[in-house]
Chain A
């Protein structure tokens, strides 16, 4: 079977989606394509099925919190109308056929962070997205299972946000136990 020649993912995506591709960058040989979050699922599906690309496996989905919206020089040289938002999601996809990786990045706004779910493209996204929903508080629209994954179900807040303190649990003594329980709405007794 003849293997079609590999195509450049960034230019192929630009040809197919035009303005939905916001930014392309290279760092240490890794390509990142920043995509408009409304189109993220279409782009991922396009990268998966198009010949010459065939990113057939979803390696990882990780979320970064850029709180307090400090992007350093991570997006220098981007087109002027592109604005990163607070939460950045990186979909790391892998093409086994061409043995290369690609990072597709989408941003979610600070107010009501929402993204469409990639479970329709890869079932592997199910738990990876549940973890992010749990840890970062990003809602994945259309996700089949929206329960918390790692944290207890009665947990308040999303621990991986940067404004969530790297906290300590106050040690309960008899003199402060009532005070501690007042802070914890679900504490027993």
Chain B
């Protein structure tokens, strides 16, 4: 099976530059300070934020002037087509570190000294690009929690088909079929890269087009999420009477 057919269609019917359908909802749960649900195609992720609150883990090593960010990435046992035995294992631990690294670039930790922000991400259904969807869901949840961030952190994946055409937002089938895959997390407005990871070998000549495609995918996701969040806040703001005299902070 080819990743890209002769008509230019991928295995799920998309063109090489198309992303999967994005649907999201903010404020899914009551108990966490912020929560969000995001699905890109068939990958569904739920993120919850607790904080800022008192530091619970490792108070001795806590920096005095900024917040500690604590992440956990876990996959449900039923998320893949084959049942996974344990929700959290070594691979999850590695992705947890990457998640922390990506989110720490954007959160303004100096506003919350001596406190801890918990980011918990749960993958409900996995169909490729898990890490990317988790980063995007975590960004939405942080905004929902009201934690000050410099800007969004958006992530996207891309790959190479037939040795020459870059594909954006790859699914699980495309990940496992053998092509190299690249995951990048960027801060869209400043254009900086927060996290970059590739698997397998990519020829140096191909690196630039694949990276550009991934960044373009990130920008597309950013614009979509931007619109959705603004609409959400316009509805909430209207209901809560923001901006009027009675609202006292």
Please indicate whether A and B come from the same complex rather than being unrelated chains: no
Chain A interface (Cβ within 8 Å of chain B)? none
